[in-house]
Amino acid sequence: MRFKKVEGWMELHEMALLYIALAHGTDHELAPAEIETGTRLLGKWAPDSPESVVKKTLCDVMLAYIAQERDQLIALAAESLRQTLSPNERLGILNDLADLAYADGKLLPLEVSFIQQLASYWGLTTRVRGQEDAAKPARQTPGQPGDASLRAE
């Protein structure tokens, strides 16, 4: 199946789409801590961009995400990033997704599944620390970097 790339989108948009898909798609909620964490994590990938540009990117992607074609957009973003980023960069995104999954203070089984399916598609083997407690609230302060981690094996 071929998908049409969204005009004007860059890698940052595709990363933002994966972040939103994880944060919203697994529990149908988007907590303020998840938006704040997503903005911070995206900002790492665009260090020369002002925070306002990163927030606008996230907002633009949120608008596209609510469209009917969200599954196609997610698949396109995953494929595009698989082709353009190195394995270490893709692992960095997976680590960001793990941190984002903990941003609201809990790690859901669907969040673990999302991360693991994406890792598999990208040819990476990962293990999410804390996945055995996926239905329980996180023991650490939500939204802090390093709350969750992935390891390439």
Q: 54-110: per-residue pLDDT in tens?
A: 988 988 888 888 876 788 888 989 999 999 999 999 999 999 999 999 888 888 899
Tell me how far CA of residue 20 lies from CA of 14, 16, 62, 98, 125, in angstroms.
10, 6, 7, 12, 22
**Per-residue pLDDT for 6 more than 60?**
no
Q: With respect to residue 32, please indicate whether it lies within any of the assigned structural domains.
A: yes
The values of phi and psi at residue 47, to 5°, are -65, -20
Q: Is residue 140 part of a domain?
A: no
Question: What's 30's DSSP letter?
Answer: -
Residue 44 lies in a domain: yes
Q: How many domains does the chain have?
A: 1
The torsion defined by the Cα of 5, 10, 11 and 16, in degrees rounded to 10, comes to: -90
Q: Where in the sequence is the domain holding 46, given as residue range(s)?
A: 11-133
Cα separation, 68 vs 136, in Å, equals 32
pTM: 0.71
Give a yes or no: residue 146 inside a domain.
Answer: no
**Residue 87 maps to a domain:** yes
